[in-house]
Amino acid sequence: MDLDIFKTIAERPERWVLATSIDVKGSSPRHPGAMMLLGETGYRLGTIGGGKGEACGLEACRRSLESGRPELLRVEMLGTDVAGTEMICGGIHTLLIEPMDRIEPYRIVLAHLAKGEPMLLVKRITGSSRGPSTVDVAVFDRSGKPVHGAAQGLDARSVVQLLEAGQPRFDEAAGVYFEPVFPAEKLLILGGGHVGRTLAAAALPLGFQVTVVDDRPEVLAEGQMPEGARTITAAWEQAIAQFSCDASTYAVVVTRSHLLDLECLRALMKREYRYAGFMGSSRKTRFLLDQLRQDGVDPARVDALWGPVGLDIGAETPEELAIAILGEIVAVRRNASSLPQLRHTQAARRAGSARSDR
């Protein structure tokens, strides 16, 4: 989801209508959770996929700005003529068109996200068969406690499970949309060399809050890193210990030596993150993983590290390596269906390289 949309709703004094993709059957340009915001001045933010779906969504948003009423909009993309104007994705896209007449839930969510706490938005859609009349919004914290609005029949365990699943879900029979909301995704790059610098530049357009760490001041001197990337000059272990790691943190280790990589990985093992990977040869990978196991780190946590980092696309240059690494990170970010296969391939590569050295 786009946190900039929540910030705009909460901070910019204007009448807004929010279009949210809440359900997709078949194929669609965007998945549930995609959002587009339209203001009374015509200001737009976000996208729900472009084409017919977005055009219909915009039209519905304009109607809602005039009427002040929500809508549930079904957009069919079932055209069969590849040369025609109808979209042929093959899916049915359900949009919730929602006037933002109550902004307090979004302010509450943003306040908790700023503290690194995931939240669950629950929207109950009520009305007649002719269309919804109200959208009641409740907010739950990560313990399952309601912090705004009615509990709406949810117990704490269900809330925790929905947050752990991490994906929006629409209960069509009950008319309830569940939307997990997570803190801004942070990319911690440990190493400011060629790969680290290129990776930072490539990650910024993807919406990551990028931080580059190195213990050499000259590497992080002004103008060395892309605009928008934060830099930290410090000892590796100190920088990692002080970084605000949480479940929305992605860490990539690309230092200048295997011993510094090991220092970073040892420090990361003590922190929370969603993804951690390191770059290196098969031999270096085995060395690092074996050392962590000898340190007594939980073997499951060691095995979960991504290494060698990046999709196996034959990347060589820093630019190619950045694409390979970010491709892997995006797969984790989106809970891609390919993740089990990526893990299987990585395990096979590790096992194969270990056998070849015997």
The pLDDT of 247-253, averaged and rounded, is 94
Q: How much is the pLDDT for 83? A: 43
In terms of domains, do 221 and 321 share one? yes
Structure confidence by residue, pLDDT tens digits, 16-31: 999 999 998 876 666 8
Q: How much is the pLDDT for 81? A: 44
Picking from 355, 351, 336, 23, the residue whose alpha carbon sits closest to that of residue 176 is 23
In terms of domains, do 98 and 203 share one? no
Residue that finishes a domain, picked among 146, 181, 216: 181
Structure confidence by residue, pLDDT tens digits, 132-190: 788 999 999 999 999 999 877 889 999 999 988 888 999 999 999 999 998 889 999 99
Q: How much is the pLDDT for 84? A: 47
In terms of domains, do 211 and 176 share one? no
Q: Check pLDDT > 70 for residue 357.
A: no
In terms of domains, do 250 and 190 share one? yes
Structure confidence by residue, pLDDT tens digits, 91-114: 788 999 999 998 999 999 999 998
In terms of domains, do 245 and 136 share one? no
In terms of domains, do 194 and 65 share one? no
Picking from 124, 120, 167, the residue whose alpha carbon sits closest to that of residue 146 is 120
Q: Check pLDDT > 90 for residue 334.
A: no
In terms of domains, do 97 and 177 share one? yes
Q: How much is the pLDDT for 82? A: 41
With beta carbons less than 8 A apart as the criterion, state whether 70 and 97 touch.
yes
In terms of domains, do 191 and 165 share one? no
Q: How much is the pLDDT for 1? A: 57
With beta carbons less than 8 A apart as the criterion, state whether 332 and 339 touch.
yes
Mean pLDDT over the full length of the chain: 90
With beta carbons less than 8 A apart as the criterion, state whether 273 and 190 touch.
no
Percentage helix, strand, coil, to 5, in the chain? 35, 25, 40
- The residue segments making up the domain with residue 294 are 186-356
In terms of domains, do 122 and 106 share one? yes
With beta carbons less than 8 A apart as the criterion, state whether 152 and 138 touch.
yes
In terms of domains, do 173 and 194 share one? no
In terms of domains, do 207 and 349 share one? yes
Q: Check pLDDT > 80 for residue 358.
A: no
In terms of domains, do 127 and 196 share one? no
With beta carbons less than 8 A apart as the criterion, state whether 274 and 332 touch.
yes
Structure confidence by residue, pLDDT tens digits, 262-273: 999 999 999 999
The tally of domains found in the chain comes to 2
Q: Check pLDDT > 60 for residue 356.
A: no
Q: How much is the pLDDT for 212? A: 98
Structure confidence by residue, pLDDT tens digits, 40-89: 999 999 998 878 788 999 999 999 999 999 999 988 865 544 444 455 55
What CATH code is carried by the domain that includes residue 225?
3.40.50.720
Q: What percent of the chain has pLDDT over 90?
A: 70
